Structure 1
Amino acid sequence: MPASPSGARDPRPSVTQQRVLDRIAAQRERLSARRAQRLVVQAQADNGQAPGADLPLVQRLVWFTREHPVVVAAVAGAALMAGPRRLVRWAGVALPLILKLRGR
């Protein structure tokens, strides 16, 4: 940074430095928005409310797993007992039905 005659540094950043500062500010905004969304999801989970349809599928599955651990364990046990060949066969039957229902 250029120094002024009195020996103090120039407080204005250069163009390159300003670009870096702008990127840092944008990243901070993204992180704070992400943190706020995570807090909303946690508050909904703490209240026992079902997550909204606008949330990603992974977050909805995590919520379902937390709210219904016995059901998830039962489904996992049934999947283990059925075996991979039967699971693939049933997925071939169920998946088109699920996709058709989801398309409505």
Structure 2
Amino acid sequence: MIRCEGNTLVVQGAVTVNNVTALTQEGIALLDHEYMLVDLQQVIEVDSTVISMLFEWLREANKKNCHLEFIRLPASIESLVQLYGVNDIITPLSNPSKPES
């Protein structure tokens, strides 16, 4: 599930092969600010498909001229980011204090 709080997408629950397509499309539809955060703290279960979802969001955000940043990655996602060597692309923002657009 994804909910939008101002310029922040809050992802909750599992992100797995069973629901990643729907979550990807849901997230893309919510990319409607020039600057957006994706809060992943409430993600409780993942598989490697979460990386493809985040990449797709970055691609779509770029098409929409939206600057997208990730915050509060759980250890499970951080491990996958490291495993796939994409930490230069999916870099969590350490201080998400940018005001809403």
Instruction: Report the TM-score, using the length of structure 2 for normalisation.
Output: 0.24
Q: Which has the higher helix share?
A: 1
Indicate the structure with greater strand content.
2
TM-score, normalising length: structure 1: 0.24
Structure with greater Cα Rg = 1
Higher relative contact order (CA 8 A, sep 6+): 2
